[in-house]
Chains A and B, each alone.
Chain A
Amino acid sequence: MLKLLKQIAVVGIKSEAPPRPDPNLRVTGERLKDEILRVFGGSLAIRHVDAGSCNGCELEIHMLNNAYYNLEGLGIKFVASPRHADMLLVTGPVSRNMETALKRTFVAVPDPKLVVAVGDCGCTGGVFGESYASCGRVANVIPVDVAVPGCPPTPVALMQGILAAIATKRPG
Chain B
Amino acid sequence: MAPANVFDGLGLDLAPVRSATPAWRARIERDRLRETCIAAAARDARLVALWGSDERDRDGGFALHLTLATDGAMLWLSVPLPQAAPEYPDLSDVFPCATRMQRATRDLVGIASNAPDQRPWLRHAAWPADAFPLRRDFPLARTYPNGTDDYPFVAVAGDGVHEIPVGPVHAGTIEPGHFRFSIVGEKVLRLEERLGYKHKAIDKRFEGCDLTAGARLAGRVSGDSTVAYAWAYAMAVEGAARIAPPPRALWLRATALERERVANHLGDLGYLGNDGGLAFGLAQFMRLKEDVLRLNAELFGHRYLMDFVLPGGVARNIGRHGCDQLVGQCDALEREVRTLKDIYDDHAGLQDRFLTCGRLEPDLARRLGVLGLAARASGQALDLRVRPAFEPYDRLGVEAMVRTEGDVAARVAVRFEEIFESLRLARILAADLPLGETAAPFETLSGRACGLGRVEGWRGESMVALEVDGGVIRSCHVHDPSWQNWPALEHAIIGNIVPDFPLINKSFNLSYSGQDL
Inter-chain contact B172/A80, CB cutoff 8 Å: yes
User: Given A66-B289, A92-B198 in contact, is the A130-B223 Cβ separation under 8 Å?
Assistant: no
Contact A101–B168 (Cβ < 8 Å): yes
When the two chains form the complex, which single residue of A53, A58, A63, A81 contacts B286, counting CB atoms closer than 8 Å?
A: A63
Expressed in whole angstroms, the minimum distance between the Cβ of B206 and any Cβ of chain A is 11
Q: Give which listed residue, B201, B223, B516, contacts A131 with CB less than 8 A.
A: B201
Cβ contact within 8 Å between B511 and A55 = yes
Q: Contacts A101-B168, A132-B126: A127 and B217 contacting too (C-beta < 8 A)?
A: yes
Residue of A nearest to B346 (CB): A3
Contacts of B216 in A (CB 8 A): 127
- Contact of B287 (CB < 8 Å), options: A67, A82, A134: A67
Q: A9 to B286: give the CA distance in the assembly, Å.
A: 17
User: Which residues in A have their C-beta under 8 angstroms from that of B201?
Assistant: 128, 131-134
Q: Which of B141, B287, B513 has the most CB of A within 10 A?
A: B513
Shortest beta-carbon distance from B297 to chain A in Å: 8
A100-132 toward B: CB 8 Å interface, digit per residue (1/0)? 110001000000000000000000001111111
**Chain B residue with Cβ nearest A155:** B290
Tell which of B335-343, B421-429, B438-446, B467-475 binds the partner: B335-343
Q: Which residues from A are CB-within-8-Å of B204?
A: 131-133
B142 contacts A132, CB within 8 Å? Answer: yes
B180 CB to closest chain A CB (Å) equals 15
Asked whether, in the complex, the Cβ of B173 is within 8 Å of the Cβ of A54, the reply is no
Contact B303 A151 (CB under 8 A): no
Are B176 and A96 in contact, CB atoms less than 8 angstroms apart? Answer: no
Chain B, residues 182-199, CB within 8 Å of chain A (1/0): the string is: 000000000000001111
Interface of B (DSSP majority class): loop
Distance of B221 from chain A, by nearest CB (Å): 7
B431 in the interface, Cβ–Cβ < 8 Å? no
What chain A residues lie within 8 Å of B175 (beta carbons)?
50, 53, 55, 58
Instruction: Report how far A55 CA is from B149 CA in the complex, Å.
Output: 25
For A43-82 the 0/1 string (1 means CB < 8 A from B) is: 0000011111111111111110111100000000010111
Q: Does A24 contact B (CB under 8 A)?
A: no
Q: B239 on the interface (CB 8 Å rule)?
A: no
Check if A149 is an interface residue, CB within 8 A of chain B: no
A168 within 8 A of B: no
Q: How many angstroms between the C-alpha atoms of A164 and B317 in the bound complex? A: 37
Q: Say yes or no for B306: interface residue by CB 8 A criterion.
A: yes
Cβ–Cβ contact B287 & A101, under 8 A: no
Q: Taking the complex as formed, is A152 at the interface, i.e. its CB lies under 8 A from any CB of chain B?
A: yes
Q: Does A56 contact B223, Cβ atoms closer than 8 Å?
A: yes
Interface residues of B in 262-312 (CB under 8 A from A): 267, 280, 283-284, 286-287, 289-290, 293, 303-304, 306
Q: B interface, how many residues as a size bin?
A: 35 or more
Q: Judge whether B220 and A97 touch: CB under 8 Å.
A: no
Q: Tell me, rounded to whole Å, the shortest Cβ–Cβ distance linking A129 to chain B.
A: 8
Distance in Å from the Cβ of B348 to the closest Cβ of chain A?
A: 10
Nearest-CB residue, chain B, relative to A125? B200
Chain B residue contacts of A154, Cβ below 8 A? 303
Q: Which residue of B lies closest to A129 (CB)?
A: B205
Residue B255 is within 8 A (CB to CB) of chain A in the complex: no
CA distance A8 to B303 in the complex (A): 26
CB < 8 Å: which of B141, B169, B346 contacts A49? B169
Q: Are A63 and B290 in contact (CB under 8 A)?
A: yes
The residue in chain A whose Cβ has the minimal distance to the Cβ of B144 is A132
Which residue on B lies nearest to A47, using beta carbons? B169
Closest B residue to A93 by CB, please name it: B200
A2 to B176, CA, bound (A): 39
- Provide the residues of chain A in CB contact with B501, threshold 8 Å: none
What residues of B have a CB within 8 angstroms of the CB of A22 in the complex?
Answer: none
> A96 touching B287 by the CB < 8 A rule?
no
- Looking across the interface, which residue of chain B has its beta carbon closest to that of A48? B173
Flag if B267 contacts A62 (CB, 8 Å): yes
Give the distance to chain A from B510, nearest Cβ to Cβ, in Å.
11
Tell me whether B197 and A95 are in contact (CB under 8 A).
yes
Q: Complex: how many Å from CA A14 to CA B336? A: 15
14 new A-B contacts, CB < 8 A, other than A63-B293, A128-B205, are A7-B340, A11-B284, A14-B287, A62-B267, A62-B286, A63-B290, A81-B171, A82-B169, A95-B197, A99-B146, A105-B169, A131-B204, A132-B140, A151-B306
Query: What are 30 inter-chain pairs, A to B, with CB distance below 8 A?
Result: A3-B339, A3-B342, A48-B173, A50-B198, A53-B198, A54-B513, A55-B511, A56-B223, A56-B226, A57-B223, A59-B304, A62-B286, A68-B290, A81-B171, A82-B169, A93-B200, A95-B198, A95-B199, A97-B126, A98-B197, A105-B169, A126-B220, A128-B202, A131-B200, A131-B204, A132-B133, A132-B138, A132-B141, A133-B199, A151-B306
Q: Which residues of B are at the interface with A, using a C-beta cutoff of 8 A?
A: 124-127, 133, 138, 140-144, 146, 149, 168-169, 171-176, 196-202, 204-205, 216-217, 220-224, 226, 267, 280, 283-284, 286-287, 289-290, 293, 303-304, 306, 339-340, 342-343, 346-347, 511-513, 516
Q: Chain A: residues with CB nearer than 8 A to chain B?
A: 3-4, 7-8, 11, 14, 48-63, 65-68, 78, 80-82, 92-93, 95-101, 105, 126-134, 151-152, 154
